[in-house]
Structure 1
Amino acid sequence: MTIWIDRPAWPAHGRLWSHLISDISYAELHDFAAGCGIPRRGFEGDHYDVPEERYAALVAAGAQPTTSAHIVAMLQQSGLRLRKRKGEKGIARVLGVDFPDGSRADVDLVRSTRVPPDAATFAAVVYVRDDLGRVLSVYSRRRAEWSAPGGWREPGETPAENAAREMAEETGVRLDPAALVPVGYERFHPLPGSPWPVEGGRFLAIFTARVTGAVPEVVVADGEPARWLSVAEFLELSAGSWWLPGAEAVLAGGG
């Protein structure tokens, strides 16, 4: 058994909490948590937060007691550690992602109301919703997938300006960058021996925005279509994409 738990020692919401991890894989951790009735909302990207009253039952089910320092060390040694700032929520750490340009990286998906470090942010994406809750979506021939509008940052742009420009170029829909709300980011860890296309670029900023009233017409840019899709349609068309857990987290709350 490779499931570990530290003793309840972390105060929050009027009780103490433990961290539940696997030192092998997220899949093993999710299977164990589900079998013990731990809700998925307790997952923080590399561990589950579990309340003190569940500690004894989890140990009885096979989780091995250990120290908090050992928990951190095992996550680091296994490559499963997802770092985040206070107030942020880890969604997932996706290992060994292959990109169309031949580069490879592990990627952290994080929910946050703060934009990532400016100097290291090389791209941005925006999830735009209308009054019906539909999502503005574009198809990329290069990646062969549907996704939210987004792309690489140009010199002199803020991340929000980057996202707004890409949205206008890819869909014809124009919004004030000030209307975009930061909701998360992707953090890339290039793998050894793999080329990385942007020197020092490690973050993609994620925003949301809303259009109210009349729904803007969308255009086909460079032969790549754009559409308004229901959330269910968007998630179905995006099934299998490595970034999907982040999209689900953003769209679950209405964007």
Structure 2
Amino acid sequence: MENLLKVIGLNKSYGKNQVVKNLSFEVKKGEILGFLGPNGAGKSTTISMISTLVDMDEGKVLFNDKDISNNEGEFKKSLGLVPQDIAVFSDLSAYNNVKFFCSLYGIKGQKLRDKSKQALEAVGLWERKNDYPDSFSGGMKRRLNIACSIVHSPKLLIMDEPTVGIDPQSRNNILEVIKNLQKQGTTIIYTSHYMEEVDAICSRIIILDKGEIIEQGNKDAIKEKYRAKGLNSLQEIFLNITGKELRD
């Protein structure tokens, strides 16, 4: 499978604390890659560097074989980011929230209205388009967060714990949205503290600890590798190789 993103030798330190250490990995077109690690593993810093929100100390990131540092504007048009913290405007309706984010990509007129409708339909909120986020449940707010991030049809979508703090039904709704996005050709980097989500939607996984990759590969192959050691779930495997619970 062809690579969409290639991370090469990424390093980042804050003072004397090196939080990302010579990190290299690939993201294949059309896959959902589970990006996992305990708190402090370097996940958020890595995502921030890939998203150009934080400068890297060393290394480079290639998108479609082009260095994003030389093509930052083009890359940002192809990138969607679903942050862990909900980032919508409480004084705008759901529809106007999505239209606002769509407009940031230079999309205007009827195309803007059409794409905003499509994004709200994709997350099941079109019938609530005129309602304000303060009237939404936690799960609905998170779906609106996703709509704002996919309205410009990104080729790469980074989702940072998009289901944290919501009920099981809302979580299942969001997982179905993610599966549909993949069917439409979106490549997804997915972080979560819920290993059952990773097992349900991800084809490959990367596990970080202390800024370094300690395991990566096809999810089923990794499960088979550790089954011989008596470990029968991703949660058990994670605990075995990191010594930490994923929810720590």
TM-score, scaled relative to structure 2: 0.29
Relative contact order: is structure 1 or structure 2 higher (C-alpha 8 Å, sep ≥ 6)? 2
Q: Which has the larger radius of gyration?
A: 1
Greater fraction of residues in helix: 2
